[in-house]
Homo-oligomer: A and B are copies of this chain.
Amino acid sequence: MILDRVIELRKRKRWSLQFTADQLGIAKSTYAGYESGYRRPSLEAIKCIADLFETSVDYLIGRVDTPTFPPEPERIKQLELTQFSEAELTVDGKPLSDEEINQFIAFIRSKREIERMKV
């Protein structure tokens, strides 16, 4: 967890350690331990913290740099088939099953494998 970020979020709200800990339902010393880096929050705890401060867990641990939550939309340029997104693929308007997509992925992979062997 990025200590500076949690501290920043709390100070912005002008909350004391005690008050924050009460909100989270944990002991003051426990929460203080998080901010000092003396202890690390459990998965459950950090989820509560993110909820409380209305930010993302990914922000708290430094995987993204924007504290906004829910995350800002972005423009998409490419779609990775092996990552199941919510985008539904269709052919002639009819949706493809996961099975079909997986078959296609397998097909492409072996195709590339064979291509690799040739060289």
Residues of chain A touching chain B, judged by Cβ–Cβ distance below 8 Å, are 1, 8, 12-13, 40-44, 46-47, 50-51, 54-58, 61, 63-96, 100, 104-105, 107-109, 111-112
Contacts and interface: CB of A to CB of B under 8 A. Distances in A.
Contacts of A55: 83
B88 A109 contact: no
A43 B112 CA distance: 37
Contacts of A50: 58, 63
**6 smallest beta-carbon distances between A and B, as pairs:** A71-B71, A76-B87, A78-B88, A73-B76, A71-B72, A57-B57
Contact of A75 (B41, B61, B86): B86
A63 B47 contact: yes
A78 B90 contact: yes
